[in-house]
Each structure stands twice: as structure tokens, then as C-alpha cells.
Amino acid sequence: MWKLRAYLRPYKTSVILAPLFMLLEVSMDLLLPALMASIVNKGIIAGDLAYIQHTGLLMLGVALIGLLGGVGCTVFSSYASQNVSMDLRNSLFNKIQTFSFRHIDELKSGSLITRLTNDVVQVQTFVQMMLRSIRSPLLFIGSFIMALVMSPRLTLILLISIPLLFVFLLVLIRRSFPLFTKVQAMLDGVNNVLQENLSGIRVVKAFVRSDYERGRFAEANQAYTGIAIRATRLLALNMPVMTLILNLSIVAVLWFGGRLTLGGSLSSGELIAFINYVTQLLFAMLMITNMLTFISRAKVSADRIQEIFDTEPDIHDPEVIREQRTSWTGEVEFYDVSFGYGMQHEQNPRELILKHISFKANPGQTTAILGETGSGKSSLVHLIPRLYEATGGHVRIDGCDVRDIPLDELRGMIGMTLQQSVLFSGKIIDNIRYGRPDASFDEVVQVAKAAQAHEFIMQTPDGYDTIMGQKGVNLSGGQKQRLSIARALLVKPRILILDDSTSAVDVGTESRIQLAFKTLMKDSTNIIIAQRISSVMEADQILVLENGSIAAQGTHDELLQSSEIYQDIYRSQRKEDHPHATAN
């Protein structure tokens, strides 16, 4: 939690003023019982009405000053805590943007959302509480000193009750901390189930699995509720035990203080003031207890936040930045490249997704990658923009290892459509312009036409200004893919990667897209992942992947002659396209 103190520095004025205003409020609170004792002793007992009125007005003024101090502390502590919360969320979000796909896979998006929301709120409340928390220790110390001044003998009662409170507090904190760690972990589980359900709600309904999902969520929710109840039940002991000790202390003060008053060694006003100070002291202890129990919760959240900050990106810019090149041709070369998820080195070859891949993709040519599901096609192209880091070997662009190219420069020369089309809520034109916000409308229309998206866009209510729902929910799968292709084309990449980006469009539309590519992307290095033979027949070279290795390589005609795997794919798809045809 101490590591997060840097977020308080921009608001140091509020951080200083909040405790000062609270100090003013506490001073007034400590003054009131003494004035009350004075009224009883010098006003009520002596029958001096003028003194009562004068001191009463003074008490009213003191109370108003205390109110001003409390309001000032609340204003400045709220300002500081809210801004700290805002800055913390921004820093967390910015940090997450530096994560590779591997980190996102490991931490899970549901957990990241919890840390950006619930955990940050816990820290925000902690900051506000700490800026106000000077009240409790000051009130505790001040009340103890004032009580000691009033009656050293009665103060002995406090020397018994205060240690009892501290022992109880210590046990409570030690028991509650591990429980709150589990509470936040269970909340992660609830959020993960919820996010998966909402993102896949169409699949859930299509397969009539609502009852299963309800049970899955209920299970996660029950686990969270159970541990939360255990933690709350433990904290529920706080108030009754503290109140019991408070009441017993007051009874003891009344018992022994009454005897001292009857004996003449303690005035009635002093007894009343002493009871007030004891009440303030014990309530200060109660606030400290609440504060420390909440700190145990905030500590858990701070640890989870710090875990994000402590996570070092495994993909980062080179330490030595070379002179930026003025131009790239886009030649891509894989040299003995291996890759395994979560692997830094080739510890276990059986866990590798890609094994010793070597090939070259030249500018002005199209390289197609074909293979069965799970053969490593998407993993291979993810290594080019360093969405994942190669485990072994080298990926080079124009002879330069991608690890030696600054990430912004590397990814700026690559246009990519992912296997799952990802669109954002907002206008269609803004989605196409996502990689180049400054692109002109004519440029947007040009790439939309090339991606065969212009026609359906113009059929929408507001054309390019039509608002799309979240993730493009109001578009078909093929329409989403065409918008994703247009977005990739707009950045005018030296390297274009299309990861199965035409699987949801018909063959005729796909042919027109490929024809447009030949003109628009004639100088680029085009890498296409496809499932259909028709998508790759015109490619300059085709790589056939099998179990993470290149099983065959060549043109369509060459592979028909030399590769049994390619022949099998060709025959099976030809039968699908022409059910009554016979294979040669």
C-alpha cells in the first residue's frame, strides 16, 4: 500500500488540508466536555445564570467551528481520494495496454475488470478514511490526557479496558485478512462467469443452456456469498464487543466516580466531563477498530493492484533503439521458429505449438497458410507483430529481427484482421478509421469498396454514420469480417495479415475481395490464413501446416502433385462444392 503513495503527490495540498481541518474538529470536540464541566460547577451549582448563558454561547461557537473543521476535512479528503482513484484506474488501464496476449490469458479479463473497479474503490475509500483517520488517534490521545487530568484515579479503569480492546482488535485483524483475500478471489470468479455468459449469450440460447449457465453462476455466486458471510460475521463481532466494553467502562466510572463525588474528591461537573471523555475515547477506539478492519480489506485490494504494476511486460521495445528506417519493403522471414504458450525456452518440445518453422514471404506476393484446426496457423501470424513472443528462432522483416524494431513502428507497418472480428460500439466510419483516425472520407470509401462493404453500408439507415451496437451486434458475421478487412486496408500496411477473414462471406464476394487486393495491395506482403482451397489457389506460395510443422510448401499446382495432405483437402472440398463429382 505504501508503494501507491505516489498517487497522492499531485494532490498534496488537499492531503495536508484534510488532516488540519480534522485537527480543528478534534480540538473543538475535546474542548466541549471541559466547558460542560465548567457550566455544571460554576453555573448550575453556583446558580450563576449569566455564566451559563455566556459559556453556552461559547459552546455553540466551539461546536460550529468543529462543524466547519469536519466539513472541510470531508471536502478535501473526498477530492484527494476521488482523484487518486481516477489516476489509479488510468494507470492500471495504461499498464494493461502493455500486456501481451499471454498476460491477458493468465490474469483473465474478469479479474482485470474487478481490479479496475472494485479493488480501486476499496483503495479510494481507504485513502479517504486515512485522511480523516487522524480524528480517531487524536481523539483517543486527547481524551485520555483530559481524563487523566480530570481524575488520575478513575483513569486506572481505562488501563484495564484499553488493553482488552487492543487484544480483541489484534485477533480480529489476524482472522479477517485471509478471509478478505478469499472474498476478492471469489468475486473474480463471479465476474469471469458473468463476462463469459454475456459475451456468449447467443450460444447459450442457441444450445438451450440457460439452466446450465444459471447453475454455474449460482455456484460461483454461492461460493462468493459464503466467504463474504464468513468475513462479515467475523466483523459483526466488532460492534457488540466494543459496545460491551464501552458500557462496562462507563458503569465502572459511574460506580467509582460516584463514590469519589460523594466523598468530595471529584466534582459533579468533573464526573460528567470524565464520562464524556471516556465515551469519546472508547468510540475513538471503535473507529480505529473499524478503520483497521477496513484496512485489511484495502490491503488485499492494494496487493492485487500492485500485482498488475509489478507484472513486467514480456514484450517490450528494444533496449537500444536503432535509427528509424525511412521505408520498409515488408519482406517476412521465419528462420527455425518455435513457439509454445507460456514458454520462454524450448523446455519440452511436446508442448510446442510451432516447431522449427522456416519460410519467406516476399513483397508483392501472397503467402497462404492452410491446415486443420489446431495446427498453429493463427499462432504463427501472431508472432509477426509480436502479439506473442517466439520461443525459439527468429522472425525477421527486411532482414531485421522483429525484437529489434520498436513496437509502434513494427505494428504500424502491419494491417491485421484477427480470427474473430472485433468491432467497437460507435459509427461504422469510426471503426474503419480505427487505425487511421485522420483518414479522409474518400479513403474510407475506397477501402470499403475493396472489402466489398460499401454496398451494405449504404443500405444501413445512416450509411457510414450508422451507429453499431456493442461488438457490432446488429451486423452479420460476413459484414463484420468485411469491415475488419476495410479497417486493415486503410492503414496501407506493408504487411497485410488476414486470419481466416473471409470464412463468413460467400465465394463470389470472396473472389471480388481477392481481385481488389491484387490492385490495392500489389506491393505489400500479403499473408492469408484460410480454410477453403478456393481462397488460396491463386496464392504465390501455400504453406500446409500439420501438428505445428510445415508439411508441404509450394503453389496450388505443385501441391496437387506433391502433397497428399493438400490433395485430401482439395478432394474433400471439391466433393462439398460438387456432391456428384468424382475424384480423379
pLDDT for 360: 93
Count Cβ atoms within 10 A of the Cβ of residue 311 and give its class: 0-12 exposed, 13-18 middle, 19 or more buried. middle
As a whole number of angstroms, the distance between CA 533 and CA 566 comes to 9
pLDDT band of 583, cuts 50, 70, 90: very low
Distance CA 312, CA 329 (A): 32
Q: Which residues of 274-305 are buried (b: 16+ CB within 10 A; e: fewer)?
A: bbbbbbbbbbbbbbbbbbbbbbbbbbbbbebb
Q: What would the pLDDT profile of 72-115 be if each residue is shown by its tens digit?
A: 888 998 899 889 889 988 988 888 888 777 777 776 666 788 78
Tens-digit pLDDT profile for residues 455-493? 888 888 888 888 886 666 778 888 888 888 898 888 888
Q: What is the pLDDT of residue 397?
A: 93
Residue 293 binned pLDDT confidence (cut-offs 50, 70, 90): low
Q: Kindly state the cell numbers that stand for 14.
A: 488537499
Residue 275 is predicted with a pLDDT of 78
- Reported confidence tier of residue 35, pLDDT bands at 50, 70, 90: confident
Reply yes or no on whether the pLDDT at 435 is more than 80: yes
The per-residue pLDDT for 331 is: 92
Q: How many CB atoms lie within 10 A of CB 14?
A: 19
Q: What is the pLDDT of residues 493-518, one digit of tens each?
A: 899 998 888 777 777 888 888 888 87
Across 235-249, 250-264, 421-435, which has the greatest mean pLDDT?
421-435
Instruction: Tell the CATH topology of 2-310.
Output: ABC transporter transmembrane region fold (1.20.1560)
pLDDT at 581 (0 to 100): 42
Provide the pLDDT for residue 362.
92
Q: Over range 129-151, report the average pLDDT.
A: 77
Residue 37: pLDDT over 80: no
Averaged pLDDT for residues 570-582: 60
Return the pLDDT at 584.
34
Band the pLDDT of 1: cuts 50, 70, 90: low
pLDDT digit string, tens, across residues 367-419: 999 888 778 888 899 899 988 888 889 999 998 999 888 888 888 888 888 87
- Taking each helix axis as running N to C, give the angle between helix 12-38 and helix 135-150, from 0 to 180 degrees, rounded to the nearest 10: 20
Query: Domain 354-577 adopts which CATH fold?
Result: Rossmann fold (3.40.50)
pLDDT tens, residue by residue, 205-247: 666 677 888 888 888 888 888 888 887 777 777 777 777 877 7
- pLDDT tens track for 310-326: 887 777 777 766 666 66
For residue 267, the model assigns a pLDDT of 72
Residues of the chain with CATH 3.40.50.300: 354-577
Average pLDDT over the chain reads: 81
Compute the distance between CA of residue 210 and CA of residue 216 in angstroms, rounded to an integer. 10
Q: How far is CA 300 from CA 78, 176, 178, 185, 310, in A?
A: 22, 11, 9, 10, 15
Residue 42 DSSP one-character state: I
**211 to each of 29, 189, 216, how far by Cα in Å?**
58, 19, 9
Residue ranges, comma separated, of all CATH 1.20.1560.10 domains in the chain are: 2-310
Residue 273 has pLDDT above 80, yes or no: no
Confidence of residue 578 (pLDDT cuts 50, 70, 90): very low
